Chain A
Amino acid sequence: MSSDESDEENVIRYGTPLDPFEEDEVPSKRKFQQQPDQYAVDEHGRRRFHGAFTGGFSAGYGNTVGTPEGWAPSSFKSSRSEKAQISNQRPEDFMDEEDRSEYGIAPRNLQTKSEFSGQKRTHQGFHDGPIPGEPVLGQLLRAVHETAAVKMLRKMGWKEGQGVGGRLTRSDKKRAKDQHKVYGCYMPPEMRQENKEESEESTDSEFEYETLFAPDDYEPYILQRKNDRFGLGYKGLSRHSVLGNLVGEYGDAGNSRSHLVMKEKGKKVSIRGQAFGVGAFEADDDDVYATHDMSHYDFEIGGATEKTEKKKAQDKSSNVLEGFVKASKPLPSIPNYPPPALPRDFVPAPAGVRRSRFDVTEAPQRDQGLGRHELTAEARGALLGETPLPETKEHIPETQTQETNLSKILGKSIDFVTQNTLKDKEKDTDFISIKDTGKDINVFKPFVSDPKKQARYEQYLKDKESGKESDRITGDTEREGDRLSEWERNREMIEFEQAAKLYRPLSGIMGDRFTHASEPDEGALNPLTAVAKSSINYGLATPEQIEAAKIGAYGTITRKETKWRPEALVCKRFNVPEIGERSEPKKDVKSKISYSIFSYMESSVHDKESFTKEQSKFSGSKSLNVDKQNKIDKPVEVKTQVTKPVSTEMNTGPNKRMTVAELFMKESEKDLQTKNKETEVVQTIEKFDRMDLYKSIFLSDSENEEINEETPSTDYKDFIDKPKNVERNTSPPRGIFANIDFDELNSWKRHSENKTSNTNDKSDQKTTDELSKINDNSKEKLDTTDRVQKLGADDSILPEAVYGPKIPENLQKRLEEMPENNFKPVFRRKDERDLDESSSSDSWVEAKVKTKKEKKKKSKKHKSKKKSKHKKKDR
């Protein structure tokens, strides 16, 4: 449990874990959907859509069906008295809150639009006409957008109807008018004069002086296509009758689409259509709409009938289908704009084809910047006008030779730099072809820099293959021109060996691991592929077996027995007892040694087992050997007695103890609760003054020696009587005593023990031992006790030096408030309290026993508390 917990402690988890996915579960085809995700829900958690495949809109009456009011037929309610109220209903009354929210139908709050639109947004309101939606007319007629120029002009103060420019006086304006260019026919000057004078006379009197006027508006002269053959500027009579239909030559009265038809020329206008016109018996008003238009004129001499006949003949002559009329004028030519010429390097990219970003782009990637990276160093230099550097090619051989020299000197020649700088010419010679497995395989040449050495290396390789190693060296040296010393040669040999290992062809080093696929691995895909018979492959059959099988002598020869061990689980499933001893691999509880100060105090040693563990763990470190001492001192029978309750306790409850800090916390809490501070403080301190007790027992002052000699014995007797107490007694120093150098004490103790004969008989004898000890090492003892006391004193004086958790301030204060620095007075005081007037020495023993009992009670209390706490934890 503990190990698991600690393992989990190290893991930091974020988020909520997913449901564990079982590996063997066949994933369902439908994706996992969480129930709440499947329904649209408003902010109050009500379902938004209902019915009709849950696409139905709930219209704010969500989930009323099923509720009492949803089913109950509403009783008739007269609205007579509430007519006024009803009229006040607004669409908002039927809306949900969501509709008025940001994303609803009628958002209430102002918000910026995602994109800026210069035009004023048309108000989108509800149209309460018979046709729902946006008004059709509004859609048909769209306001002409003002151009940006007009808008700008407006901003600058321009108004429609006036020209641009500075304000002018009237005379200036007049002058400007005179200079005005006129297209078309010039007005005769007399006429102009007249007009002017008229206007001037009327106005001059009023605006004579400095009144400034805006200049006249410039009237754009818009050229209009001339679609008639009249003279310039002449407008003939409109061919459209007033009634709206073409007449005369161009229009056919009978086919006219107008409601008003003139039956007899200039006489009758009959009105077709309903709800409008002259009644049947009413006399016609003559010429109600008489105006001058073309229809009033005869264009030819003669009757109208003649004309029609002629027209028909004309029609026939021209190649026109019956019922059609040849167009009198050609259709206005539609201006033809040729498409823009494509740029020369334009490549059409069809919109449908999507280009993956991994496609190869033809355009070379430009470096960021200004394109200067595209230039080479030389080009840049040329641009800057630098003198070009001399060619660097000569350098390479130089370095090579240098290297070779160096390598000769050093006897070391594997050089990767030169190999890298080799030119292409040499590359093909970079490999030696070795005839291995019948194929030429290129082998890396490690000694290219030194051709002689390379030659030697190749020779070495050859020799190695052929297996003649002894004569290699001699022949080699003889052949080679350069003499190598013995040492150099040996070095080279080692080098070659290494190189040969390093640069073994792949076929050599990996060849034994891989084989060529003799056949494509189709077996997995197609089990029908032919497989070569492998009867040649006899498995692990020995030749004897093969022989025996050939002659059919099956039996002992062909049979082979080997040990085979079924897994435990296999045995279990087959209902077969497991063979052999059960060597279950027990989970090793990792012996974790945490070096936190808490571990020293927390894993307080209340039972023997944990104590011994502690001992082994921190042997020689800061644990106190009190228990050991006790063990030695105690008679054997006691031990057995002791162990029993311990074991039971171990079984019943987890032996996790409170930390000192926790204890302190508890104590301080208690302090607050019960205001009887004095006694509490005494108690708490009492808890941690076992060291003092220890000191008083074993390292007592020289004056008290005689008396103290007895005390331990009584103490032990006490233990014997109540073996459970041993538990409590063996607790290691904690809290304020944690920093007392117990090692020192222990070492001293051990030392003394070694000296004295190791007897574990009876307490009496122990006392004698103690005596002898004391006698022997009285000096030492004195020193140590002094030191200990000093330390204790230091402790109280210098709280900074205290290790372990900080003592709560209130406690600390109280500690400091103690009359004396050392802890003895506590006992005194207790004595005084318990037994009002008695000698200090006597009361000591007595008080001790009493305090013991108290402690016991206390400890029990703690235990119960702890247990409860554990329960909480387990949950």
Chain B
Amino acid sequence: MVEQLSNIVTIKCKQQVVRAVRFNVDGSYCLTCGADKKIKLWNPHNQLLLKTYGGHANEVLDAAGSCDSSHIISCSSDKSVILWDVTTGQPVRRYRGHASSVTCVKFNEESTMAVSGSVDNTVSFWDVVSRRQEPVQILKDAKDTITSIQVTDHEVLTSSVDCHMRLYDMRVGKMFSDYIGHIITYASMTHDGQCYVLSCADNTIKLFDKDSGELLNTFSGHECKDFLLENSVNEKDSHIISGSATGEIFYWDLVSSSCTQKLVHGKRPVVSLSHHPTDNYLLTASEDEVVLWGVPKMEE
């Protein structure tokens, strides 16, 4: 049984709309990507705005911090991917390889490479360490927009609007594509790396076995509408979390697929969420507001 979470902190980001909220590696900071073309770095625990990164020419759609928290990679609908220096706030590199707006971006484990997915149906690998300006590799398997990317030490998981989930395994040298039958709005992986959780546009979240591609569980109850809802798995891999178009956040038990908790964020759809990597914290973004959920500490 999970402790009941409650709203610890509410941050008004003043970014028009927060497109994505992301914890950093250790969960002490978070990034918000705004429709105001800026990325903001926060300390969500004390509502502190640390820095604003401006340089994108259009809405920032996704961002990720590097493993050493020295760099930020962000992507925008201005078709570019920008690597930022955290401390100076200056863009270090700007990659202009995509033909359309870039929807998602992730670092690899060592933050030596950035992987970005775009509306142009491609996934590009960017060498962040070298000065190379072109993508190292482009994956052109998807037939529609890439909605999300997950990168592990040797795999790249992409979800696409073409109803396919694609898993690129570098060790084996194979690409596994699973046809899901519904638009996948977001794909995440469990921490053990054995399952992937797909948010589907049919108001369900599906849990798949990575090796066989079999459906393990389906979670429903939330409303998807036309939003690219994100999902997450809690730090213990015990629950699946997802936002809803109705403004709630659903917690499902991974095994029993029963809804254990429902957090009410507001009236507006909770599109983006990010779970703390180690602790029981959850960041959710709805419109201009970011809420940090967690177990309030007992004060003596």
List the interface of chain A (C-beta within 8 A of B): 22-24, 26, 523-525, 527, 530, 533-535, 537-541, 545-546, 548-550, 552, 554-556, 558-567, 569-571, 573-577, 579-580
| Residues in chain B near residue A548, CB distance under 8 A | 179
Docked complex Cα distance between A603 and B263 (Å): 82
Residue from A548, A570, A571, A579 having most chain B Cβ neighbours under 10 A:
A570
Interface string of B248-275 (1 = CB under 8 A from A): 0000000000000000000000000000
Number of B positions contacting A (CB below 8 A): 63
Residue from A539, A545, A569, A576 having most chain B Cβ neighbours under 10 A:
A539
Docked complex Cα distance between A24 and B93 (Å): 5
Provide the main secondary structure of the chain A interface: loop
Beyond A26-B94, A549-B179, A554-B178, is A525–B58 a contact (Cβ under 8 Å)? Answer: yes
Docked complex Cα distance between A563 and B161 (Å): 22
| Least CB separation from B168: chain A residue | A564
A534→B144 contact, CB < 8 A: yes
A23→B179 contact, CB < 8 A: no
Docked complex Cα distance between A563 and B112 (Å): 24
A545→B179 contact, CB < 8 A: yes
Docked complex Cα distance between A22 and B169 (Å): 33
Beyond A554-B213, A579-B172, is A537–B179 a contact (Cβ under 8 Å)? Answer: no
List the interface of chain B (C-beta within 8 A of A): 55, 58-59, 61, 77-79, 90-95, 100-101, 108-110, 112-113, 119, 125, 127, 129, 131, 133, 136-137, 139, 141-144, 153-154, 160-164, 168-183, 201, 208, 212-215, 226
| Residues in chain A near residue B180, CB distance under 8 A | 549, 554, 558
B174→A563 contact, CB < 8 A: yes
Beyond A524-B100, A539-B142, is A574–B177 a contact (Cβ under 8 Å)? Answer: no
| Residues in chain A near residue B129, CB distance under 8 A | 573
Which residue of A524, A550, A561, A580 contacts B176 across the interface (Cβ within 8 Å)?
Answer: A561
| Residues in chain B near residue A533, CB distance under 8 A | 183, 201, 226
| Least CB separation from B78: chain A residue | A524
A539→B172 contact, CB < 8 A: no
Beyond A534-B144, A540-B143, is A552–B215 a contact (Cβ under 8 Å)? Answer: yes
Question: 25 interchain pairs (CB within 8 A)?
Answer: A22-B131, A26-B91, A524-B79, A535-B201, A539-B142, A539-B179, A540-B164, A541-B179, A555-B212, A558-B181, A558-B213, A559-B176, A560-B179, A561-B174, A562-B141, A569-B127, A569-B136, A569-B137, A570-B125, A573-B113, A573-B136, A576-B154, A577-B171, A579-B171, A579-B172
| Residues in chain B near residue A558, CB distance under 8 A | 178-181, 213
Which residue of B101, B141, B213 contacts A527 across the interface (Cβ within 8 Å)?
Answer: B101
| Residues in chain B near residue A559, CB distance under 8 A | 176-178, 212-213
Docked complex Cα distance between A571 and B173 (Å): 10
A26→B101 contact, CB < 8 A: no
Beyond A537-B143, A566-B168, is A546–B174 a contact (Cβ under 8 Å)? Answer: no
Tell me how far the C-beta of B66 lies from the nearest C-beta in chain A, rounded to whole angstroms: 13
| Residues in chain A near residue B101, CB distance under 8 A | 523-524, 527
Which residue of B113, B162, B170, B174 contacts A537 across the interface (Cβ within 8 Å)?
Answer: B162
| Residues in chain A near residue B95, CB distance under 8 A | 24
| Least CB separation from A551: chain B residue | B181
B214→A554 contact, CB < 8 A: yes
Docked complex Cα distance between A524 and B215 (Å): 35
- Apart from A530-B226, A561-B175, 14 more pairs, CB < 8 Å: A539-B160, A550-B181, A552-B215, A554-B178, A554-B180, A558-B179, A558-B213, A562-B174, A563-B173, A569-B127, A570-B113, A574-B153, A575-B109, A579-B173
| Least CB separation from B129: chain A residue | A573
Docked complex Cα distance between A562 and B141 (Å): 10
| Least CB separation from A541: chain B residue | B179
Docked complex Cα distance between A561 and B110 (Å): 27
B94→A574 contact, CB < 8 A: no
| Residues in chain A near residue B59, CB distance under 8 A | 527
Tell me how far the C-beta of B36 lies from the nearest C-beta in chain A, rounded to whole angstroms: 13
Docked complex Cα distance between A834 and B225 (Å): 107
B173→A564 contact, CB < 8 A: yes
Tell me how far the C-beta of B224 lies from the nearest C-beta in chain A, rounded to whole angstroms: 12
| Residues in chain A near residue B61, CB distance under 8 A | 527
Docked complex Cα distance between A415 and B200 (Å): 62
Docked complex Cα distance between A356 and B131 (Å): 45
| Residues in chain A near residue B175, CB distance under 8 A | 561-564
| Least CB separation from A533: chain B residue | B183
| Residues in chain B near residue A540, CB distance under 8 A | 143, 162, 164
| Residues in chain A near residue B100, CB distance under 8 A | 523-524
Docked complex Cα distance between A759 and B173 (Å): 55
| Residues in chain B near residue A577, CB distance under 8 A | 171
| Least CB separation from B139: chain A residue | A564
Tell me how far the C-beta of A379 lies from the nearest C-beta in chain B, rounded to whole angstroms: 59
A534→B212 contact, CB < 8 A: no
Docked complex Cα distance between A570 and B139 (Å): 12
B170→A538 contact, CB < 8 A: no
B108→A555 contact, CB < 8 A: no
A24→B58 contact, CB < 8 A: no
A535→B127 contact, CB < 8 A: no
| Least CB separation from B76: chain A residue | A527
A560→B208 contact, CB < 8 A: no
| Least CB separation from A540: chain B residue | B143
B131→A24 contact, CB < 8 A: yes
B119→A575 contact, CB < 8 A: no
Docked complex Cα distance between A24 and B127 (Å): 12
Which residue of B141, B162, B173 contacts A566 across the interface (Cβ within 8 Å)?
Answer: B173
A580→B163 contact, CB < 8 A: no
| Residues in chain A near residue B163, CB distance under 8 A | 535, 537-539, 541, 549
Beyond A549-B179, A579-B173, is A573–B108 a contact (Cβ under 8 Å)? Answer: yes
| Least CB separation from A572: chain B residue | B112
Beyond A527-B58, A539-B142, A558-B213, is A573–B112 a contact (Cβ under 8 Å)? Answer: yes
| Residues in chain B near residue A563, CB distance under 8 A | 173-175
